[in-house]
Amino acid sequence: MLQKGRLAQSSPFIAGRDQETCKVIMGGGSFSFRTKASTATRTVVRHGSAPLFREADVCVVGSGISGVSAAIEAARLGKQVLLVDGLPVLGGQAVNSIVGTICGMFSNGADGYQVTYGIAEDIIRDLSKTGAIHYRQGVNNIIVYDEVALGRWIENAIREAGITVLLGAIVREVEVKERRIRSLSLATRYGDVRVGATGFVDASGDAALVWQAGFPCQEAADGPVFGTQMVVLEGIDEEHVPSRAELPVRMREKGEQYGLVRREGLSFIIPGRGIAAMNMTHMETPLDPFEMSTKTLEGRDQADRAVTFLKTEFPKAFGKARVRAYGFPGIRQTRWIRGRQQLTVEDVVSGRKFDDAIARTAWPIELHDSGNDHVWRPFGDDHMHYVPFGSLTPADADNIVVAGRCIDADNAALSSVRVMGPCIAMGAAAAHALDLAGTGSVHQIDMEALKVRLRDNLERNVSGHEIARTIRPFAEANA
């Protein structure tokens, strides 16, 4: 009897299938559906039409962390901003490649202080409320973050700032006249678009805008800089995760057995969630579209081999782990601009403070120039190096400022300033420089005025301890 009663309760009963609404009765409750579906269609035919045209004060190409910083800062200056990205989502690599941490935003050592502000402050303030970031103190101080939360933060901040977004739009052509970009032609799956603006920010990572405009760019001359296919694992046992030293040692010892290309790796654990972002592969990221597509699939294969390695070699930590997500291919350095000035490795090592400095960082030289491993040249607690405004500006153009991982630097120097802290600062500098330039040239702005506006990113020092105190530990936030 009991069995029958249970069955009767849980089996759904549908009443009135042939009427305008039907009722589903199940589990002691009911809900209704409309049953009549529209059958109407209309015929549409494509007629050759002109691209949609939109105008803005500032057009930012690339919605990675540097483009987001540029767009929000420009909007806060009262500009009409149009933010374009080739992906159908905002956030660039910070969100979609699951890079795991914000580096280069603090000075080194136990008394590390914050060196970049602007949207960095907002991100720390807002994400710390939900425990989505975690300050990790070490030789190099970093913030570990939840990329899903950062993605939503970016989307909300862009909407609140009143920025127009154009997603899934690839820059195809750039119209240049008398040293100024006049407009961009973009292809989207919904048709072509043309965008005109007074000023442009190239935050595309690959210098897409500067390249398409025909201005000189540069690439690494001694072989590729490798990217990484990141992978997020869930179901790990945090207590048994190998130390930062142990993982690479085992990768070197046993890597060949598992077909690993890279023989060193890192895990970024989001404490209290049994989740880790694994950085264990090295893939080439060529600019040829077919080659890049092939390398993308190879990168995923490398990631799978790395997961097999982890599960077998560290069963206590990773035996029950599953892949929760593969990031988009992580691209470090491909093509970048030739600017008015090149940041050199000597500038970085000596901590040269330029008259036109606009950003600072203490991040090591981190050049991924080999399949197996990478160059890592760390600096002391007192070290700081700077990015000059000249490295953000192509010499032959008056209304473009570049931000992020495609500014002018030598191969090694770029590897120390392409991390997210300085990317945020460069985005802010681009927005303020275009504001100061107006309809004039970014090469003729009042540099002192720019530096006053960027003073926080050059001089203000908030202790990392203070920040750590305001960030709730993950475990507590998720209790």
Ligand X SMILES: Cc1cc2nc3c(=O)[nH]c(=O)nc-3n(C[C@H](O)[C@H](O)[C@H](O)COP(=O)(O)OP(=O)(O)OC[C@H]3O[C@@H](n4cnc5c(N)ncnc54)[C@H](O)[C@@H]3O)c2cc1C
CA distance 148 to 413: 30
Among 84, 193, 225, 392, binds ligand X (CB under 6 A): 84
Is 99 a binding residue for ligand X by CB under 6 A? The answer is yes
Is 146:134 a contact under the CB 8 Å cutoff? Answer: no
Which C-beta is closer to ligand X: that of 230 or that of 445?
Answer: 230
3-state secondary structure of 336: strand
Is 170 a binding residue for ligand X by CB under 6 A? The answer is yes
Q: Which residues pair with 335 in a beta bridge?
A: 219
Which C-beta is closer to ligand X: that of 22 or that of 52?
Answer: 52
Among 107, 228, 341, 342, binds ligand X (CB under 6 A): 228
Of 42-50, 86-94, 243-251, 438-446, the window that binds ligand X (rule: CB under 6 A) is 86-94
Supply the minimum distance, in Å, between the C-beta of residue 474 and ligand X. Answer: 17
Helix (H) or strand (E) run with residue 423 in it: helix 420-437
CA distance 20 to 360: 66
Which C-beta is closer to ligand X: that of 85 or that of 356?
Answer: 85
Supply the minimum distance, in Å, between the C-beta of residue 266 and ligand X. Answer: 8
CA distance 309 to 302: 11
* DSSP of 93-152: HHHHS---EE-SSB-SSTT-EE---THHHHHHHHHHHTT-EEEE-SSS-EEEE-HHHHHH
Is 399:199 a contact under the CB 8 Å cutoff? Answer: yes
Among 59, 65, 120, 174, binds ligand X (CB under 6 A): 65
Is 82:163 a contact under the CB 8 Å cutoff? Answer: yes
Is 204 a binding residue for ligand X by CB under 6 A? The answer is yes
Of 28-36, 109-117, 226-234, 240-248, the window that binds ligand X (rule: CB under 6 A) is 226-234
Q: Binding mask 13-52 vs ligand X (x if CB under 6 A, - otherwise)?
A: ----------------------------------------
Number of residues that bind ligand X (CB under 6 A): 41
Is 242 a binding residue for ligand X by CB under 6 A? The answer is no
Is 98:91 a contact under the CB 8 Å cutoff? Answer: no
Is 399 a binding residue for ligand X by CB under 6 A? The answer is no
Among 206, 356, 398, 456, binds ligand X (CB under 6 A): 206
SS3 content of the chain, % helix, strand, coil (to 5): 35, 25, 40
Supply the minimum distance, in Å, between the C-beta of residue 9 and ligand X. Answer: 51
**Identity of the amino acid at 199:** G
Q: Which residues pair with 113 in a beta bridge?
A: 463
Where do contacts with ligand X occur on this chain (CB under 6 A)?
61-67, 84-87, 92-94, 97, 99-104, 170-171, 203-206, 208, 227-228, 230, 279, 330-332, 404-405, 418-420, 423
